[in-house]
Chains A and B, each alone.
Chain A
Amino acid sequence: MLMIKRTLLSFVAICLAFISQAGTIKGKIRDSKTGEPMTGATVTLANTRYWTTVQLDGTFTFRHVPAGKYQLTASAVGYQRSTPVEVVLSSDNDEKDLALSLSVSTTTLEEVQISAASGGSDNTARRIEQRSDMVQNILSARTIEISPDITVANALQRVSGVVIQRDNTGDGRYAIIRGMDQRYNNTLVNGIKIPSPDDKYRFVPMNIFPAEMLERLEVIKALTPNMEGDAIGGTMNLVMKNAPDKFIFSANGSLGYSTIFNDNPFVAFPHAGINKQSPAEIHGNDYGAAVSDFTTNNLKFYNRATPINNTLGFTIGDRFLDKKLGIILSASYQDLYKGAVSERLVPDAQPLPSPDPNTLNPSDSYVRTYSTRTNRIGLQNKIDYLFNDRNRISLFNLYLHQDQFETRYTPDSSSAGLNSTATQTLVKPEYRSRWQIQDIYNATLQGNHQLSNKVRVDWSGVYSIAKQQIPDMASYTWDQVVYREASGKTDSIRNTIPQGTSNAVTHRWQHNKDQDWAGYGNVEYKPSLFQREFAFQLGGLYRYKTRDSYNNDYALQAVNGGAPYSGLDGEELYFQATGQNKGSYTAINAQSYTAHEKVAAGYIMTRFLLVPKFQVLGGVRVENTQDDYTTVLPKTSTIGASGTIHYTDVLPSVHLKYSLQSNQNLRLSYFKSISRPGFGDLVPITDNSNEEFTFLGNPYLKHVRADNLDLRYELFPGLADQFLVGAFYKHLTNPIEYYVTNVNGPSSLYLRPQNTNEATNYGAEIVFTKYWGVFGISANYTYTHSEVTTTKRLYGLVSGSIQTQNINQSRPLQGQADHVGNFSLLLKDPRWGLDAQLALAYTGTRIVQVSPYYGLDIWGKPIAQLDLSVEKRLYRRLVFFAKINNLTNSPNKEYIKFPYTKVNANLPSGYTIPFQDGGSNYTVAQKDIYKISYLGGLRYKF
């Protein structure tokens, strides 16, 4: 509350400031080379108390300055301090207008100037976008710092054309770029691809990166031949902080709270007794486990009152040995408690054949609560050594560690259809604990050598490791019958020990590890040919990946099913069918495998000005991929115990850039790119951890190829302002879609990655940023339209008899929203050290889950999330900041395009499905509530 009052006071103060009048020194500070405004530079009157910072438009003002003679200097990080300028104010009403420029410090090489120079400011970001050879959008460190976001995933949603896919607690996790699902995008750190700790996929969970570690975030939407070719939606490049020119130090810390825990307690579980290895790992695959081999400690849930979030971070850096050796170290720690309440209605595996074909019928409804504690550590360190102004080597280290403790509580999972009526409901409450440990480590040794004026060479040697462990994910359940009176009032509840083939207690161990060794090399040659400057670039990479995956799960059943239930402690458990005590029915399953991937790539690329304002960049990249996998399945397995997959892609690209004027570009580009299936898709895994359907891997899956076209007009009127408008078209061959397929048998429906013939995806985007003095607006909007056709089932009556038929249905790609936009109101007053941002992120309708049945896909309702962040300088280098997320408590809602009234019409009279929107013509399948969360703290920058 205090914080809000202060903010209000600040606003009032700003208004007052506008009307004051006095003796004044004002002026503009620019970059001597680029002429860009030096926003944020410090201007001081030597030997006085007067100092100020340069505003967004490059201006500074000293008011109420007494008459006299002053020495004015300007300074900025990465720039040489300006030579003092003498200013004489002859009277109190005198006004002086100056123009100064600052030069970049000369110790850094040309290509790092941009980032080192201005500490990741907005303006720099605009300059990079403008000068870039390809289509990209950039978020600067400063933009991220003052945004409401503390993870890279959440920051990504501010980028034009990006939709984030959220985890169970509403936190962003993956990015969908231009309607292309996360599998079609890749993640780089400083231009180097990093592996994912995910158990199945290549894409990296973007919430593992604390946002404050970044210098800038680039979303590159058109690939050049010197970039890895496996991105169809786009490449996310996380550029980390470089070693500074001089000593820097900054630190921050904050506390926060999520209001979801006002109504629902945070449910925790002890993780001290958790065994990191399964009984089969400890004793061997033939070991038949006993009930006593399993702890129940992680099923002893308890409530934790008002959990407080906290974050800590610092960055320290300096340059030594005559400025030749630069070192930077940043660390970030986050301890966050998040939660969600999720209402769900589960469609039955098969609809009803009448009254209409594919009449939606639910099998289950439940309300679920999540309590998730996330503990994140990020460490980053870069050391560079400048031998001279032509040779530099650097060593970069990144370490990320995340522990996530998730309690999932489903107190009333009821069979909505089959066995419930108005007067009695069958319920299966379930508690589940899950401890997920994820690590990413990357070390990159890099060299840059200017061999001559025309030849430049760079190389990188990379080692990366990414791993995940989910030790002993455990759950327990029991049976419950709720009897109701005719009025709906609960009459009585009967709890019994779970019966039937349902599992009373489950334990699951999973871990996987990706290890990459890679080498990159590039040579650039810049001759003059045909009286023009040309740049030829040649290079390649080789990467050797080893991947291990392990999975085993154990299911225990209760002996006295049907007897009264009085808690887990009093329940006698056993393994029923022979073999079940070995876990996953012999501990030998395709989820335990070793895989390798060798990627060898080379490219040739040229860049030249065809006419003075017309830049052509073109070339071709060739990527060869050799994958192999070996599961622990015996040779007699009929589903593909091992396999090899080879392919080579030729990926041409052409990028044309025409500078209409010095601040306007017109771009046209074509590139071909691919997307490789993850090993979790390829290996013939059967995984029943998904609730509705068993997952089945597909070794015959082909990689995806895409032709991409981009057209964009860019206007950079100066400062941080910009206006971009563009269009894109993509054509995909063999796109991979997950859909449920009936491999055989009535209940053996599998969720399986499959190639569909082709898909198209096109759209248009517009980006607009404009400042008026201290106020600004930043907005972007993307329209996307995609289409893919797959075979679906139609279950209905054909001349009186029930038939299942195949029918084609065209639909958008999974996850693609037709309308995506961001709108932010910005306030930036460097004089008062005040920054505020009210940010709205909008995601339109999109398919969340594809149904095997025609017309029954699950769609996401449009969601608009409103976040606020405020930052106020308290004293010179000390800043207070606050971030408030989800101000309007926007729910995530998913629905099926089938009227809920028609669903109710087929249910036993008096029974209706819950969670519905009255008067709507759809059926709500899921609704997740996250509530508002607050974070506030201090940041100090030296």
Chain B
Amino acid sequence: MYKINLALLILSSALVFSGCTKWAEDKQNIYVYQAPPPPGGAIPTNTPLCGSIKGVMQTGQTYVLGCTINVPKGDTLILEQGVTVYADTTSGIIVHGTLISLGTQAQPNVFTVKGITKDNTPNLPLNQDPAHKGLWKGIMCDTSCRLLVLKWTHLDFAGASYGNVDGPAVEESSGTSFNIVFQNPNGYCIIEDCWFYGGTDDCMRISNGKLHIFRNTFEKCGGSGGDIVNCKGGSVGTIAYNFFIGTAYNGQKASNKGQPVGAPQCNIVMYNSTFVNGGVRITAGSRAGGIDYEQGAEGAFYNNAFINCRVGYRVVNNPVADTLHLTYGNNYQWADSLVIADQFFTYGGVCTKPQPTDIPRPSLYLPANFYYPNPPANAYDGTPVVQYENPKFVNYPLPVVGQPLFAYTSIGSFNFHLLPGSSLIGKGNTTIKPLVVVPIDPIYGATEVTPPGADIGCYQINGSGNQH
């Protein structure tokens, strides 16, 4: 009997011990930095700014970033008009809350790096151009950022790597170097009448969000690569009246890649943008140089002008865009030479359908049996449409003389407004409906949703559209 008792004793004590699973609970104490709450109110100008921030940067004042500043969740930083912010390679702006920059046409705001001048020399090698060095980190919005509003604001020389602290703080890798990142599918990203100069990768990465990107100017954006306004799965809104020159890859791109659970399908309406010398860094057959819809993106693109872009606009075949819900037309393309015209309808994994409203008219140069769902290389001869229907810019002679293609990546002293008699005038489709998903408000929303214009491109002969 005692033997059995003994065995029972051992077994029961073992069971008692095994019941103590509470002991086995992991007690973790992981040090995670909590930024102290910012004081708020008027931001002082006398010391370099660093760390948590909220409040107001006042009209006409100049501020210096000593390190990355961050707007905590629930807090707001507002820039009144005429504000200048100097940043450097160690600094940028992290936005967990709300950032509003209210520049005006008369007194724009400026984010830049002190002492750097723009070099508009044509054909400047990448490694010699301060535009492509990435001299500060830009505006890094994380998943909790509810509202980003930039109006009449310059963002120059951004594109430094976020690094191992700021990158993970906004759930990006340390090597990320976008000028702006926005990634809240329920947040509003409103960018109007702004100027972007320089960069090393995507200028504006909209991972997801409700967006309104109107009437901006982009020069020298992207570095050795990068799509300039790059919208991914979960992004919805309208992108219109933007001017791009010398983009690395596309000016505007939509893809449903990485759609978060519960976020909408990528749906972007694009109209009346102008792309000059787009796709400086691409190889024909792999990417587009102006507009690109791919991987499940839906929407529409009309009334856009593409001037000497290395590859024409593309609707990608694999992974295919949502072609059932994608419409396009009234898009204009100009080629100085045959090498450009031969890529108006590029080859490879694309299914861009030529539209009768396109300029030049596809029937002028595409064969009747042009197989648009998967065109082979050299499927047509673009000779008839080289230098066809000159857009007549105020000061940018076409064809470009004395410089190779893609020599000019910034505006400099050129003027891309239209002269009377431009072939872009009156060719636009004004029936397109913008997709308005953001509030309209002088401070906390968009100022103006400019409807589609009658003239192709971002500058309207009646003075509406892009105001730069």
Contact = CB atoms under 8 A, between A and B. Distances in A.
A148 to B, nearest CB: 43
A746 B207 contact: yes
A878 interface: no
Given A559-B127, A801-B265, A638 B168 contact: yes
A87 interface: no
Contact of B256 (A420, A637, A802): A802
A637 B169 contact: yes
B295 A350 contact: yes
A923 to B, nearest CB: 15
Interface in A472-500: 479, 481, 483, 496, 499-500
A917 B447 CA distance: 59
Q: Which of B6, B28, B233, B263 has the most CB of A within 10 A?
A: B28
Given A576-B200, A577-B160, A647-B25, A688 B173 contact: yes
B134 A576 contact: yes
Contacts of B35: 636
Given A576-B132, A579-B160, A647-B25, A424 B208 contact: no
A618 B11 contact: yes
Interface in A677-693: 684, 686, 688
Nearest to A609: B3
A348 B2 CA distance: 67
Given A577-B133, A672-B18, A654 B11 contact: yes
A703 B374 contact: no
Contact of A643 (B3, B31, B205, B232): B31
Interface stretch (A157-165, A389-397, A901-909): A901-909
B114 interface: no
B18 A577 contact: no
B165 interface: yes
Interface string A520-555: 000000000010000000000000000000000001
A171 to B, nearest CB: 33
Contacts of B174: 584-586, 589, 686
Q: Which of B20, B23, B319 has the most CB of A within 10 A?
A: B319
A810 interface: no
A340 to B, nearest CB: 30
A353 interface: yes
B301 interface: no
A611 B224 contact: no
B45 interface: no
Interface stretch (B100-108, B281-289, B391-399, B424-432): B281-289
A562 interface: yes
Contacts of B135: 578
B213 to A, nearest CB: 17
Nearest to A702: B26
A702 B28 CA distance: 9
B161 A653 contact: no
A418 B261 contact: no
Interface residues of A, number: 107
Contacts of B33: 635-638, 641
Nearest to B11: A654
Contact of A646 (B26, B208, B248, B263): B26
Given A499-B225, A793-B261, A746 B164 contact: no
A647 B10 contact: no
Interface in B250-291: 255-265, 281-283, 285-287
Q: How large is the interface on B (under 10, 10 to 19, 20 to 34, 35 or more residues)?
A: 35 or more
A586 B348 contact: no
Contacts of A21: none
Do most interface residues of chain A lie in helix, strand or loop, or is the interface mixed?
loop
A805 B260 CA distance: 8
Interface stretch (A737-745, A775-783, A887-895): A737-745
Q: Which of A637, A654, A800 has the most CB of B within 10 A?
A: A637
B92 to A, nearest CB: 11
A650 B259 contact: no
B224 A499 contact: yes
Contacts of B164: 584-586, 588-590, 633, 637, 686
B133 A479 contact: no
Nearest to B183: A745
B260 A742 contact: yes
Contacts of B183: 744-745
A795 B283 contact: no
B349 A421 contact: yes
Contact of B14 (A640, A654, A744): A654
Given A423-B377, A501-B201, A746-B207, A559 B125 contact: yes
B400 interface: no
Q: Which of A499, A702, A800, A802 has the most CB of B within 10 A?
A: A802
B21 interface: yes
A650 to B, nearest CB: 5
A700 interface: yes
Interface string A596-608: 0000000000100
A350 B201 CA distance: 22
Given A636-B33, A742-B260, A748-B172, A620 B318 contact: no
A620 B159 CA distance: 59
B107 to A, nearest CB: 29
Q: Which of A745, A801, A802, A909 has the most CB of B within 10 A?
A: A745
B32 A639 contact: yes
Contact of B258 (A483, A652, A742): A742
The 6 closest A-B pairs by CB, nearest first: A746-B258, A500-B225, A746-B232, A643-B30, A577-B134, A652-B14
8 contacts: A418-B319, A424-B285, A501-B223, A562-B281, A586-B174, A638-B169, A654-B10, A746-B234
Interface of B: 2-3, 6-7, 10-11, 13-15, 17-18, 20-21, 23-33, 35, 51, 89, 125-127, 132-135, 142-143, 159-165, 167-169, 171-175, 177, 181, 183, 200-201, 205, 207-208, 223-226, 232-234, 248-249, 255-265, 281-283, 285-287, 294-296, 316-320, 322, 324-325, 347-349, 373-374, 376-377
